Structure 1
Amino acid sequence: MPNYSVTFPTRPSGVYTKWVRAADPTDAVRVAAELDWPTGPGYTVAFDYEPEVWLNRHPYRLRSRHVQGPRFGGTASDAPAFTPVPATTHSGA
């Protein structure tokens, strides 16, 4: 099965990423939502928002590609700011 990274926004701010093996991007979101997300004190994962999903292929920097959801940008100081998007097809996971 392919390897995906699924990034959800967190409350009150930030993002959190999990790597999962799944059949497709939709399955990757389902698998990631079922995992234990060890967030810091005062932070919660915003499962009601659309996640960013990447298909990861080695070498990661050259072959990985964005496959679903918004682009949250990186952690660099010049990375564009992101606005979380409410999920329109939230499955209740």
Structure 2
Amino acid sequence: MKAYYFANKTCRTCKGLWPKVEKLMKENKIELEYIDVEEKPEISGQMLVFSVPTLVFIDEDNKEINRFYRNFGMQEIQAFIDRYLSIMNS
């Protein structure tokens, strides 16, 4: 599983969430990539990202498995990760 964090430089929420998301992904050993929507609009368009912050999870087959956008917290992300990993490990 891999995660993409879409943000921009002027978004205060994006700036505040980034360290928390980064820490959570490290703790769960999930590869994470930061994408600035203003610097890479083509990637944002391809992934249908229309608001920031957006966190998109991709599986091993490069298919989207979940997406969190605008208002989300670390607890709901961790709950998703736990559910996904329990399914994959069973």
Tell whether the structures are fold-level matches, with TM greater than 0.5.
Answer: no
TM-score norm. by structure 1 comes to 0.28
- What is the TM-score when the length of structure 2 is the normalising length? 0.28
Greater relative CO (CA pairs within 8 A, separation 6+): 2
